Structure 1
Amino acid sequence: MADTLQFNLVSPERSLASMQVTEVQIPGSDGDMTAMADHAPTITTLRPGVLKVSGPEGASEYVVTGGFAEIGDGGISVLAENAVAKADMDQATLKGMIDAATDTFAKAQEAKSDGVDAAAKTLADTVAIGDALGISVN
C-alpha cells in the first residue's frame, strides 16, 4: 500500500476535507504540482482551478480560487479563499466566482495598479474552470 499523509482543505466558511491521501494535485500559481508522501516542504499560492485528491477511500475533486497550499512533514494543508466540492458546482456558483474575478479586474484597471495582469490571469483561470467542468455561464 502506498504511503499516505494527512490532507486538510479549509476555506473561510468551513472545513471541506480532512483525510488520509496518497496524492494531491494542486493548481499552483507557478504551475500545477502533485504532492505525495516524502515531498519536499513547499508553500505555493493557488490559482483558480480544480484540486484533485486521491487516497485509500477514493478520489475527490474541489474547485478552488486563491489561497495557498503548504506541504510539510505533517501533511498537506490547503487554505483556499473559496472552495467548493466539484460535485456541488453549478452555473450560479461559477457565475458568482466569475463576477468576483471580473470586479477585481475592473478595480485594478480603474486604479491603474500593478495588479492588473494578475487580476486578468485570475479572471481567465476562473472562466477556464467552467470550460473544464463543462459549465457555461452565457
Structure 2
Amino acid sequence: MATFQLELVSPEKLLLSRPVEMVVIPAAEGEMGVLPGHAPMIVALRGGVISVREGGQEKERLFVAGGFAEVGPERVTILADEATPVAELSRAEADSRIAAAEQEYLAAAAESPEKREAAMNRLLAMRAMREAAQAG
C-alpha cells in the first residue's frame, strides 16, 4: 500500500519520523484522516489523539494538547504543543491538570477574550487527555 512520511515534533524532541499508510489527527474542526496524495493544507489541532495506521492496523496512538499540522501529498508534519503516547497517560495526572486548567480559566474571566479562549482550549485539551487515559 502507498505511504507518506509522517513527522511528529514537540518542543522537547522529534517523536516520530517514518512512512505510514494513514494518520487520523484531531483537527480543530473534527477528526481528519490523511492518506497519501492528500491536498496540501495547514490545520490547527485541538487536544486529542493521533492515530497512526500501518499494515492496515492502528499501530500507535499519541495524545497531543494542540498545535498545527502541515499536510501535503507526500508528507505530514505535526507540530504539537505537547505530545505523549496514550499508553503513558495517567488519569490521576490528567485530573490534576484539569483542576489547574479550571483555575486558570476562572482567573481569565476578567481578561481579554483571547486569554479566556486560550484558557478554555487548555481546559478542553486536558479533558481530552483524561478521556484518552481512560480509553488507552
* RMSD after superposition: 2.4
Structure 1 match to 2:30: 31
Structure 1 match to 2:39: 40
- Alpha-carbon distance between aligned partners in 2 of 1:8 and 1:102, rounded to the nearest angstrom: 32
Matches of residues 107-118 of structure 1 in structure 2 within 5 Å?
A: 107-117=107-117
Matches of residues 1-138 of structure 1 in structure 2 within 5 Å?
A: 2-56=1-55, 59-95=59-95, 97-99=97-99, 101-117=101-117, 119-134=119-134
* Cα separation, partners in 2 of 1:70 and 1:101, compared to 1, 3 Å: farther
- Alpha-carbon distance between aligned partners in 2 of 1:100 and 1:11, rounded to the nearest angstrom: 22
Please identify runs of 4+ aligned residues in structure 1 that moved more than 4 A.
Answer: none
AA at the equivalent of 2:6: F
Structure 1 portions without partners, runs of 5+: none
Q: TM-score, normalised by structure 1?
A: 0.82
Residue 108 of structure 1 aligns to a residue in which SS? helix
TM superposition shift of 1:99: 4.7
Residue 128 of structure 1 aligns to a residue in which SS? helix
- Alpha-carbon distance between aligned partners in 2 of 1:101 and 1:125, rounded to the nearest angstrom: 9
Count of paired positions: 134
- Alpha-carbon distance between aligned partners in 2 of 1:84 and 1:107, rounded to the nearest angstrom: 27
- Alpha-carbon distance between aligned partners in 1 of 2:29 and 2:19, rounded to the nearest angstrom: 26
1:47·1:122 contact (CA, 8 Å) conserved in 2? no
- Alpha-carbon distance between aligned partners in 2 of 1:27 and 1:13, rounded to the nearest angstrom: 21
Q: TM-score, normalised by structure 2?
A: 0.83
* Cα separation, partners in 2 of 1:38 and 1:73, compared to 1, 3 Å: closer
2:21·2:35 contact (CA, 8 Å) conserved in 1? yes
* Cα separation, partners in 2 of 1:41 and 1:101, compared to 1, 3 Å: farther
Structure 2 portions without partners, runs of 5+: none
